[in-house]
Amino acid sequence: MADPPKNYPHDWVDGGGAFGRLYGSALATQTSKRTAGFLAESLLHEDPRYLPAPDGANAGVRIFHAVAFSFVDRNDSGGRTLASSNFTSATAGGFVGMAYLPPGFNDASHAGQRIGTEFLGIVISNISREFAPQWLPVAQKLHFPRIVPSWWVPTEPRRP
């Protein structure tokens, strides 16, 4: 929202109305993306959970695993299947803008670019999930502040 495309009309780049339009665009994209992904997972019986690489794998294998998991998913029975929900999700997120974006940005070529960006987001998300367990100790050593307040995350396991 801070840096909209340079060729957007003035009412899409300046003022409160522009903020509302850009925020609404981001909200519509995320909503359609997540809804389409959920529906595809449900209908095609895909398992939405990310499964990390096996213990002891090196960084290259882990990155390859995370990227491959963007294209190949697990089904409810544990078998491998095409990650149709990822493709459906990215496509929905890319094409939704054709309904409301300003002229020149609501065409199929821009939708294709948005689809690519949305799918790249899925790949980056998988890589982040793969390496998240190793980032926490590093963040603690560097004394990064906690993003989530301490009262939000319990320090002890719950007792039955």
Percent of the chain with pLDDT over 70: 88
pLDDT at 137: 78
pTM: 0.78
The whole-angstrom separation of Cα 142 and Cα 16 is 38
Give residue-wise pLDDT tens across range 71-114. 999 998 889 999 999 999 999 999 998 888 888 888 999 899 99
The whole-angstrom separation of Cα 125 and Cα 104 is 30
At residue 160 the predicted structure's pLDDT band, cuts being 50, 70 and 90, is low
The whole-angstrom separation of Cα 120 and Cα 149 is 30
